[in-house]
Amino acid sequence: MASVDVLRTLGNKYSAEILEAAEEPRSAQELSDELDIPIATCYRRIDELTEHGLLELHDNVLSDDRRRIKVYRRSIETIQVAFDEDLAVEVEERSTVTNKLDEAWRNLSEPACTSSS
Amino acid sequence: MVELTETGIDGLDGILGGGIVRDSTTLISGNPGAGKSVFGLQYIYSGVESFEEDGIYLSFEENAEDLRQAAESIGFENWQEHVESGAIRVFDKRELLRENDFSSSLEIILDDLQDSRYERLVLDSLTMFQLFFEDERERRTYLLKLTDILRENGLTTVMTNEQGTVFPETDIGLENFLTDGNIFLLQTPTESGVNRYVWVAKMRKQDIDTDIFPMELAQGGIQVHQNASAFSMLGEGESPI
């Protein structure tokens, strides 16, 4: 299932290293240079990790030669795997100020929240 | 009929036509020393003392002991008592920035916001709060989200904002467009010290007096002199904001 896919993606060569390095926003080129990953592989890994919600496109920054460069940042903090009963992969998202505010803001529109009167 | 929250600042509520709009967010801008923090302390303190409204004070600028001393030095003698009873909930610099992780503090704060006990909130300062965001667009988005959250939780909010030169060459930051009200605290040096003024530049939903009024920062906090309009540099009712 989806859980196993996440683990496979994670198990691919360089995936863990990329996630570790992407604590702060990094471009594919930077990751490739820093971690000594062939650039084509680096792009492929980034796509896989992004597809599974482990890495996210953070921004398009302007390079020195005025090109747009995509930078990526990992969107998770922890992954827990449980083998009892069904295989369960629990992904803990990075807790950030923006996440918290987004969540609180989303909750505003939910019916559980008493309307201001 | 718009419901109003009295600031408890002598003279200011008159200029505001009674107070600030309930559940709104008002930005208090000024340079260092203009009296922004005193404004915040006074707003929270008089809420508890005079209007039976409990308040939350978030400070990125000072720790709880500094706040207590600042409050007591201007005559808010019962500040600490109210903090201990929970009527005033202080999140100080140390607590907010504990382990460099504001996001976990934010979780506690958001919990407290939902506690219907509190009706007033001060954020000192917005300038510091905005450092948690990466760019102008993010700062803008999250300021709007935060003011939404505060409004929906029934909190009438005052945020302080560090501003360089305020007047007359006002550099108006985006924040001023995003909040419901703008009050500027101005100071000009004189031979004998400093003259202080307050300018209510904008108040959504309210008919306000946009003249500039002299104010004093003394024992008992801020006092605005309502009847002595100091300047008429701006046309009647014309606000650049």
DSSP secondary structure string for all residues of A1-14: -HHHHHHHHHHSTT
> Which DSSP string corresponds to A61-105?
EE-TTS-EEEEEEE-EEEEEEE-SSS-EEEEEEPP-HHHHHHHHH
Residue B239 lies in a domain: no
> What tens digit of pLDDT does each residue of B44-60 get?
999 999 999 999 999 99
Residue B106 lies in a domain: yes
- Between B229 and A53, residue with greater pLDDT: A53
Q: What is the pLDDT of residue B228?
A: 57
Q: Select from B20, B16, B1, B12 the least CA-distant residue to B180.
A: B20
Residue B237 lies in a domain: no
Distance CA B155, CA B22 (A): 8
Percent above pLDDT 90 for chain A: 42
Q: Select from B54, B124, B116 the least CA-distant residue to B85.
A: B54
Residue B41 lies in a domain: yes
Q: Which pTM value belongs to this model?
A: 0.72
Asked if residues B146 and B152 have their Cβ atoms less than 8 Å apart, the reply is no
> What tens digit of pLDDT does each residue of B190-203 get?
888 899 999 998 88
- Cβ within 8 Å of residue B103, ≥6 positions away: A95, A96, A97, A99, A100
N- to C-terminal Cα separation, chain A: 46
**Closest-CA residue of chain B to A25:** B134
Q: Which of B107, B133, B148 sits opposite A100 (nearest CB)?
A: B107
> What tens digit of pLDDT does each residue of A72-102 get?
989 888 888 888 878 888 887 776 778 788 8
Q: What is the pLDDT of residue B59?
A: 94
Residue B219 lies in a domain: yes
Asked if residue B238 has pLDDT above 60, the reply is no
Asked if residue A114 has pLDDT above 60, the reply is no
Q: What is the pLDDT of residue B162?
A: 86
Give the pLDDT band of residue B155 (cuts 50, 70, 90).
very high
- Between B80 and B228, residue with greater pLDDT: B80
Domain of B144 in residue numbering reads as 4-224
> What tens digit of pLDDT does each residue of A16-47 get?
999 999 988 899 999 999 999 999 999 999 99
Find the mean pLDDT for residues B196-215.
88
Residue B232 lies in a domain: no
- Between B131 and B98, residue with greater pLDDT: B131
Q: How far is CA B217 from CA B117, B189, B194, B201, in A?
A: 30, 14, 10, 20
CATH number at residue B214: 3.40.50.300
Choose, out of A100, A106, A113, A117, the residue to mutate when testing the contact with B (most B CBs < 10 Å).
Answer: A100
Q: What is the pLDDT of residue B99?
A: 52
What is the greatest pairwise CA distance in chain A? Answer: 59
Give the pLDDT band of residue B147 (cuts 50, 70, 90).
very high
Q: Is B196 helix (H, G, I), strand (E, B) or coil?
A: strand
Asked if residue B230 has pLDDT above 60, the reply is no
Identify any residues that bridge with A4 across adjacent strands, giving them in sequence order: none
Q: What is the pLDDT of residue B68?
A: 96
CA-based angle B43:B104:B70, to the nearest 5? 30
Domain count, chain B: 1
Q: Which of A59, A104, A116 sits opposite B110 (nearest CB)?
A: A104
Residue B183 lies in a domain: yes
Distance CA B181, CA B193 (A): 29
Please check whether residue A100 touches B, CB under 8 A: yes
Distance CA A61, CA B118 (A): 42
Choose, out of A98, A108, A110, A116, the residue to mutate when testing the contact with B (most B CBs < 10 Å).
Answer: A98
The answer to whether the Cβ–Cβ distance between A100 and B138 falls below 8 Å is: no
Residue B238 lies in a domain: no
The structural domains of chain A, ordered by start, are 2-108 (1.10.10.10)
Q: Select from B14, B184, B60, B238 the least CA-distant residue to A97.
A: B60
